[in-house]
Structure 1
Amino acid sequence: MVQKIPLQPDEIVFLKGNTGTVGVVKFAKNGHIFIGTPDKEEIVMFLEKEDLIAVSAIKSGSFSEDGIKSLIFLLRDVGAPLVVLPSDHPTSKRLPMVASCGERVRLDCNITPGTHPEQDILCACDDLSGVEIKGVKGGLEIKGPLKEFKVEKFQ
């Protein structure tokens, strides 16, 4: 099943699970994000207006939604880099949020948060696992088991 959700550059969509939330925005400009890798390399990921930034929070609720908005602001507007941890790094267990960016993002509950330099996969809660999000002109295409979402202005 594919759902199409209209999404403007000044809006955010929250995908809601029982134990977590994912916020998605359009990158809304042509630009780039720097990604620091465990190999001490820096990757430059070039993004276009219709590409996505997705942030996954381990908890649900307004506190998590505010955190998601803050991380998106840091990545998209301030230019903060994404940092990828080594797969055995103990801090990955303490990350309250993780982010991914690009044309398409797959949500998966069976990966270690913050350890994937490839930007097409993002750790998410069990009930959002298996959802695929793709940026398309004027919105998103979402494939998979999505029960609840809401769109609001991103301020």
Structure 2
Amino acid sequence: MVQKIILENNEIIFLKGKSGTVGVVKFAKNGQIFIGTPDKEEVVMFLEKDDIIAVSALNSGPLTEEGIKSLIFLLRDMGTPLVVLPKDHPTSKRLPMVASCGETIRLDCNITPGTHPEQNILCACEDLSGILMKATAGGVEIHGSLKDFKIEKFQE
């Protein structure tokens, strides 16, 4: 099943699962995000305006949605880098949110949060696992079974 959703630069879509939420926005400009890797290298990921940023939280509710918006603001507008932890790092169990960016992002519940430098996969709750999101001109395609989502204005 594929859903094509129109998504403006000043909007956010929240994908809602029973035990988690994913927020998705357009990158809305041509630019880059820096990624700090576990092997002490910094990778520069170049993004275009139609690429997406996705932030996943393993909980839900209004406070979670505000947190997702805040992390998106830090990444997209403030230039905060993404930090990738080593696979066995104890902090990965305490991350309230994780992020990924690019043209295509797949949600997966079988990975350790914050430990994947590749930006085409993102840890998510079990009922959102397997969903694939693809950036399109003026929107996003959601591949998979998505039952509950909402779109709202996002303050830039």
The verdict on a shared fold, with TM-score over 0.5 as the criterion, is yes
Residue identity over aligned pairs, in percent, reads 77
Question: Residue 138 of structure 2 aligns with which residue?
Answer: 138
Question: Residue 152 of structure 1 aligns with which residue?
Answer: 152
Question: Residue 68 of structure 2 aligns with which residue?
Answer: 68
SS of structure 1 residue aligned to 2:23 = strand
1: distance between equivalents of 2:5 and 2:56?
A: 18
Over 6 Å off, 4+ runs: none
Letter in 1 for 2:13: V
Question: Residue 28 of structure 2 aligns with which residue?
Answer: 28
Once the two structures are superposed, the pairs formed by residues 108-123 of structure 1 within 5 Å of their partners are 108-123=108-123
Question: Residue 80 of structure 1 aligns with which residue?
Answer: 80
Question: Residue 103 of structure 2 aligns with which residue?
Answer: 103
Unpaired runs of 5+ residues, structure 1, are: none
2: distance between equivalents of 1:29 and 1:65?
A: 23
2: distance between equivalents of 1:61 and 1:48?
A: 30
SS of structure 1 residue aligned to 2:77 = helix
Q: How far is 1:39 from its partner?
A: 0.3
SS of structure 2 residue aligned to 1:78 = coil
Unpaired runs of 5+ residues, structure 2, are: none
SS of structure 2 residue aligned to 1:46 = strand
Once the two structures are superposed, the pairs formed by residues 6-21 of structure 1 within 5 Å of their partners are 6-21=6-21
Q: How far is 1:138 from its partner?
A: 0.7
- Corresponding residue pairs, total: 155
Q: How far is 1:145 from its partner?
A: 1.5
1: distance between equivalents of 2:77 and 2:69?
A: 11
Q: Which TM-score applies when normalising by structure 2? A: 0.99
2: distance between equivalents of 1:36 and 1:146?
A: 32
1:26-57 C-alpha deviation (Å, 9 max, x unpaired): 00000000000000000000000000000001
Q: How far is 1:13 from its partner?
A: 0.2
Letter in 2 for 1:125: C
Q: CA RMSD in A?
A: 0.3
2: distance between equivalents of 1:145 and 1:124?
A: 14
1: distance between equivalents of 2:145 and 2:112?
A: 21
Q: How far is 1:130 from its partner?
A: 0.3
